[in-house]
Amino acid sequence: MRLIIDSHLDLSWNALSWNRDLTQSIASVRQAEAEMTDDDARGHGTVTLPELRRAGVAVCCGTLLCRAKQHVRPTRKIDVDVATQDIACATARGQLAYYRLLAERNEITFITDRKQLQTHIARWKERRDEHHPLPVGLILAMEGADPITTPDQAEQWWADGLRTVGLAHYGKSHYAVGTGDNGPLTPGGIQLLKEFSRLGMILDATHCSDLSFHHALDVFAGPVMASHNNCRALVPGDRQFSDEQIKRLIERNAVIGVAFDAWMLQPNFVIGQTHGSAVPLSAVADHIDHICQLAGNTHHVAFGTDLDGGFGTEQSPDGLETIADLQKCEGILAERGYSDGDIDRIFHGNWLQFFLRALP
């Protein structure tokens, strides 16, 4: 089994908003949701902590997720919008509190610097035994920066362990414009990036609209990543990156995590109508191939699955019943001519090298 680093999992949102006990087995979580009808993903989850260990996921970026949109009126607990940045901040702090509880129980371990990362990876390589399970390493990430109430507050979040931040999610945030809209950074967004530069925070370009993406890369000189993004050349739409955007990221020595959400993998997928089984798992390799061709090597692409990011097996590619099925990608890549070293880089090596450069 190959070691994996996954750059995007909404673990705390799944626990607190979906009411999922992530310390339990996948079967237990699915059974608990068997009669629930508030979302198509109920009963179809793919990620728990035992399943991450079974998958060989040694490290993941675990998110804090909440948006501040005063005009939105959420109707379900699982919705991510709240009225103000103060509420978003408090919500994200609650999500952080959940991660801290998991850390106290040795389910996860926070990774905030390169030495901790090196030590953790060495432990996983030396001792992986389901009878003596190791904690999953967690790099704290924020998807959409609204919980940072002011640019000055970024320093407190850094002290709390936050290491990577995306400026927006869907629509306008207080700092940038995200998927489904377009526009540049706000003045506050520019100031926030100045704070990120001072602190050493990693910028996650995922979800930035085209104008915000280019604006952010123009004004920010620090480390850049893309935690969960696919290729617009293969699946049209502003949620994917254009070749121009991918090339800019490659020039910045970034890594792009390929997402496993079926509508991002294959054109003409209609959420709520098309089933994930219509999309082969090999579609993931199509996006990996495309990024590798643009880069001329295998050093800039990895996994950023976004599994259970508001969907489950009904919207995951065929053959992926749980996150442990990431291991099936080894055979798919090998059939396409990827070497053993290439596959190791895509599974974990590229993210490992990126974070060893970018973390303090």
Contact by Cβ (8 Å): 308, 26: no
- AA identity, residue 331: G
Query: Which residue reads 């996150």 in tokens?
Result: 323
Residue-wise DSSP of 294-317: HHTSSTTEEE---TTSS--GGGS-
Work out the pLDDT band at 133, boundaries 50, 70, 90.
confident
Work out the pLDDT band at 128, boundaries 50, 70, 90.
low
Residue 248: how many CB atoms within 10 A of its CB?
18
pLDDT at 129: 57
β-strands 301-303, 256-258 pairing: parallel
Long-range contacts of 25-30 (CB under 8 A, 24+ apart): 25/50, 25/51, 26/50, 26/51, 26/322
Work out the pLDDT band at 73, boundaries 50, 70, 90.
confident
Question: What Cα–Cα distance (Å) separates residue 92 from each residue in 99, 206, 233, 255?
Answer: 11, 19, 34, 26
Q: Which segment of 35-49, 69-83, 230-244 scores lowest on mean pLDDT?
A: 69-83
Q: What is the mean pLDDT of residues 116-141?
A: 88
Q: What is the mean pLDDT of residues 49-76?
A: 95
- Please, what is the Cα angle at 261 between 260 and 266, to 5 degrees? 95
Contact by Cβ (8 Å): 260, 328: no
CA-based nearest residue to 11, from 100, 128, 117: 100
Q: What are phi and psi of 60, to 5 degrees?
A: -140, 160
- 251 CA to centre of own chain: 21
Give the model confidence (pLDDT) of 4-27 as tens digits. Answer: 999 999 999 999 999 999 999 999
Question: What Cα–Cα distance (Å) separates residue 90 from each residue in 7, 96, 222?
Answer: 24, 10, 28
Residue 178 pairs with which residues in a beta bridge? Answer: 208
CATH superfamily entry for domain 4-358: Metal-dependent hydrolases (3.20.20.140)
Residue 360: how many CB atoms within 10 A of its CB?
10
The reply to whether the predicted model has a pTM over 0.85 is: yes
Q: What is the mean pLDDT of residues 168-173?
A: 97
d(CA 305, CA 245): 20
Contact by Cβ (8 Å): 205, 216: yes
pLDDT at 74: 85
The SS3 of residue 216 is helix
Query: Which residue reads 């053993």 in tokens?
Result: 340
Residue 314: how many CB atoms within 10 A of its CB?
18
Residues in the chain: 360
Q: What are phi and psi of 54, to 5 degrees?
A: -65, -30
Contact by Cβ (8 Å): 315, 41: yes
Residue-wise DSSP of 92-160: HHHHHHHHHHHHHTTSEEE--SHHHHHHHHHHHHH---TTSPPPEEEEEEEESSTTS-SGGGHHHHHHT
**Sign for the pseudo-dihedral over CA of 184, 187, 192, 193:** positive
Work out the pLDDT band at 305, boundaries 50, 70, 90.
very high
In this model, does residue 86 exceed pLDDT 60? yes
pLDDT at 213: 98
Work out the pLDDT band at 299, boundaries 50, 70, 90.
very high
Give the model confidence (pLDDT) of 214-229 as tens digits. Answer: 999 999 999 999 999 9
